[in-house]
A and B are shown apart, each in its own frame.
Chain A
Amino acid sequence: MPSGRKTILVVDDDLGMADTLTDILQANQYEVAIAHSGETAVSMARRRAYDLVLMDIQMPGLNGVQALTAMKAEGLAKRVIMMTAHTRDELVKEAEKQSGFPVLAKPLDLERVLSLASSATSP
């Protein structure tokens, strides 16, 4: 990380969501990488340690909770914040338990995302 910036991995199968989140985070001085599936997210996390993973829950293939479980099993993810459009899904409780953060509801409250990102990436 030559820039010294904090790194965030954004994981969402919705391209527009990943794209716009990336622009916002970059404009707030984060270095951002994108994965469009849980599988890609896990393999990217193996190659590089991110300060924060911001991950959607409902994705085809490996869903967010499964990806989170896989990352934790390999000791890859320090801090993961999950987000969802399905706030009442059973997976939400599981996601909160595993990540230790409240799950963020879409449409996202971006002030809250940035403040959580800031505190999650602080040492």
Chain B
Amino acid sequence: MQASLALTTEASLERVLQKITEVARDTLRARYVALGVIDESGTGLGQFLTAGTAEATEIGPAPTGKDVLDLLITERRPLRLRTRAPHLGSFLGVPIMVRDRAYGSLYATEKQEAEEFSETDELLAVVLASQAAIAIENARAAQALREAQEELVRKEKLAMLGQLAGGVGHELRNPLGVIRNSVYYLNMILPPDEKIRKHLGILDREVANSDRIVTELLDFARVKAPVREAASLVSIVRAALERLSVPESVTVQLELDESIPAVLVDAQQVGQIALNFLQNAVQAMPDGGRVTVSTGADRESVFAAVADTGVGIPPGNLAKIFQPLFTTKAKGIGLGLALARELAEANGGRITVESTVGRGSRFAVHFEKAAHA
């Protein structure tokens, strides 16, 4: 049982719980022992381990964590019964608890060579259950620690990338400025030759394009602390639509629920998220298609969503699209969605995405309803 004190992975937890289940069966001299762990959301059974009878063949399918298991957990005390139910007979169940937190239950049936389980059996079961509880608690703490560490590494990476992006961005603005000045000067002094004008025009446009990329880098480099005020997602989305250049082959369909409650956000930052969704949607449909822009609300949150009928995102890429520098576009540096996620989180929101290859994608940003708006 020493292993229960030093757990790091789900797999090793499973092994320890299995061992506890087997030890319980031997020491309690039961025909069948089961150990059920409620999942972290508390809504169902996370793990279910058995020793003895194959539960699937002899006592039916694995329990759902309701009925007997549920009773042990809600009552939070051992239960010792003698029943006439087939394959049950004598029954001993104990909750798996640390302090006042219940993680699941351990139960044994069909005491061998006796009519029912004894008080000593009950004490043994309580001790075994507490070992299981400590193992579960350790595993969950280790998991939380791992997640916190990963989050920290992600934030550190983002911060470093931000510094680099900021430095490079600013440094590029001076040479771009010099090129633009030269173009302006040449436009003033050169004869109005058509070819010359064309090429100067190209230079000027490309300077503007480069400056846009620099602006994207700088936006990413410094996500300012949001200035959150009651705002309407509908107005934010409408303003973003005004800034979007829509090719002729793309139609925009609005499904805006004007009655949704206000949200407490930085309208400028959320506008940036919306514009990013819209630009991605247009870029996902090189041969044209339909962008559907919607707003709506459910019980706790309000959302704005942008759906396209474009190329879609392969399942393997879905987890990566929010990583900085991940891009599948020929043009672009892959900061748009990374920035969108940063902005959403900074404003207390979250982004969800659904996508089917060949049919399109839907990006939505959700915010809690403003309490006093």
Q: Kindly specify which of B152-160, B170-178, B337-345, B360-368 makes contact with the partner chain.
A: B170-178
Q: State whether B185 touches A106 (Cβ < 8 A).
A: no
Q: State whether B181 touches A85 (Cβ < 8 A).
A: no
Q: Decide if B188 is an interface residue (CB 8 Å cutoff).
A: yes
Q: State whether A85 touches B170 (Cβ < 8 A).
A: yes
**A-chain residues with CB within 8 Å of residue B173 when the two chains form the complex:** 85, 106-107
Q: State whether A14 touches B185 (Cβ < 8 A).
A: no
**Interface members, chain B 169-196 (any A CB < 8 Å):** 170-171, 173-182, 184-185, 188-189
Given the interface pairs A16-B175, A24-B185, A107-B173, the reply to whether A88 lies near B218 with Cβ below 8 Å is: yes
The total number of A-B Cβ pairs within 8 Å is 50
Q: Decide if B37 is an interface residue (CB 8 Å cutoff).
A: no
**A-chain residues with CB within 8 Å of residue B211 when the two chains form the complex:** 107
Q: Decide if A86 is an interface residue (CB 8 Å cutoff).
A: yes
Shortest CB-to-CB span from A13 to chain B, Å, is 9
**B-chain residues with CB within 8 Å of residue A27 when the two chains form the complex:** 185, 188-189
Shortest CB-to-CB span from B214 to chain A, Å, is 9
Q: Decide if A110 is an interface residue (CB 8 Å cutoff).
A: yes
Q: Decide if B236 is an interface residue (CB 8 Å cutoff).
A: no
Q: State whether B180 touches A108 (Cβ < 8 A).
A: yes
Shortest CB-to-CB span from A57 to chain B, Å, is 11
Q: Decide if A23 is an interface residue (CB 8 Å cutoff).
A: yes
How far is A88 from B170 in the complex, measured between Cα atoms in Å? 10
Given the interface pairs A17-B181, A107-B211, the reply to whether A24 lies near B188 with Cβ below 8 Å is: yes
How far is A108 from B222 in the complex, measured between Cα atoms in Å? 22
Q: Decide if B165 is an interface residue (CB 8 Å cutoff).
A: no
Q: Decide if B207 is an interface residue (CB 8 Å cutoff).
A: yes
Shortest CB-to-CB span from B191 to chain A, Å, is 14
**A-chain residues with CB within 8 Å of residue B177 when the two chains form the complex:** 17, 85, 106-108
Q: State whether A20 touches B189 (Cβ < 8 A).
A: no
Q: State whether A107 touches B185 (Cβ < 8 A).
A: no
The 28 sampled A-B contact pairs (Cβ below 8 Å) are: A14-B174, A16-B181, A17-B174, A17-B178, A17-B181, A20-B178, A20-B182, A21-B181, A23-B185, A27-B188, A85-B170, A85-B171, A85-B173, A85-B174, A86-B170, A88-B222, A106-B177, A107-B173, A107-B179, A107-B180, A107-B207, A107-B211, A108-B177, A108-B180, A108-B181, A110-B180, A110-B181, A110-B184
Shortest CB-to-CB span from A2 to chain B, Å, is 25
**B-chain residues with CB within 8 Å of residue A24 when the two chains form the complex:** 181, 184-185, 188
**B-chain residues with CB within 8 Å of residue A106 when the two chains form the complex:** 173-174, 176-177
- CB-CB contacts of A99-122 with B at 8 A, as 1s and 0s? 000000011101000000000000
Residue of A with least CB distance to B210: A107
Known: A27-B189, A107-B207. 8 other contacts (CB 8 A): A14-B174, A16-B174, A24-B188, A85-B177, A107-B177, A107-B179, A107-B180, A110-B181
- CB-CB contacts of A18-51 with B at 8 A, as 1s and 0s? 0011011001000000000000000000000000
How far is A102 from B207 in the complex, measured between Cα atoms in Å? 23
How far is A20 from B211 in the complex, measured between Cα atoms in Å? 18
Shortest CB-to-CB span from B286 to chain A, Å, is 30
How far is A17 from B184 in the complex, measured between Cα atoms in Å? 12
Residue of B with least CB distance to A89: B170
Shortest CB-to-CB span from B144 to chain A, Å, is 36
Residue of B with least CB distance to A108: B177
How far is A17 from B218 in the complex, measured between Cα atoms in Å? 21
**B-chain residues with CB within 8 Å of residue A21 when the two chains form the complex:** 181
Name the residue among A88, A107, A110 with the largest chain B CB count within 10 angstroms: A107
**B-chain residues with CB within 8 Å of residue A88 when the two chains form the complex:** 218, 222
